[in-house]
Chain A
Amino acid sequence: KNEVEQSPQNLTAQEGEFITINCSYSVGISALHWLQQHPGGGIVSLFMLSSGKKKHGRLIATINIQEKHSSLHITASHPRDSAVYICAVRFLTGNQFYFGTGTSLTVIP
């Protein structure tokens, strides 16, 4: 069964803290995406991973294919990082994206 689980569901952090959001999936994937959604609805694609690690500014995404797990890290968090972060995977079987329930992050100044 194709399942994607994200944790935590909600996260509140003080400005400057290191943040980790986790995503686990049930079966083999061709790719995993991390998305960011700000209030108002617009979604931005942050990372696309099939192995290893990627870094962009203060954001780092890692994936462990054997453990079927990915993490999104935010270093030196800032109030503008407040958003919903969504993990999306494309399983090897089937050709559509499945989404995690999202993590709502609030960074307090």
Chain B
Amino acid sequence: KAGVTQTPRYLIKTRGQQVTLSCSPISGHRSVSWYQQTPGQGLQFLFEYFSETQRNKGNFPGRFSGRQFSNSRSEMNVSTLELGDSALYLCASSLEGTGNQPQHFGDGTRLSIL
């Protein structure tokens, strides 16, 4: 069974640009969550999608957005990139997205802003 796939693995952008990251969950998983990891703030929750609907959202500005498609694949978009957006972006999938189910993580997309 294939794991969670994130693309691209590495990305370099400049300030002001926008970026779209992709996450393909494990087959059959309907919940996809996105996280940002930085050396200073650690892991922080961005948002969670379940059955194409955003179910939860963390404390991030509106420049961060996402969506989920009918096949459960998810994308997140960051507009007007800032230097502080440089981070490892991880997605995780689970069957139903409740806290008592294991989360399966992708290898992440490392985003660098110049």
Contact = CB atoms under 8 A, between A and B. Distances in A.
Interface in B60-114: 88, 90, 92, 98-108, 110
Nearest to B37: A41
B56 A96 contact: yes
Contacts, number: 61
Interface of B: prevailing SS? strand
Interface of A: prevailing SS? strand
A41 B56 contact: no
Interface of B: 33, 35, 37, 42-45, 48, 55-56, 58, 88, 90, 92, 98-108, 110
Interface size class of A (residues with CB under 8 A): 20 to 34
A41 B55 contact: no
Given A86-B43, A96-B56, A48 B100 contact: yes
A44 B42 contact: no
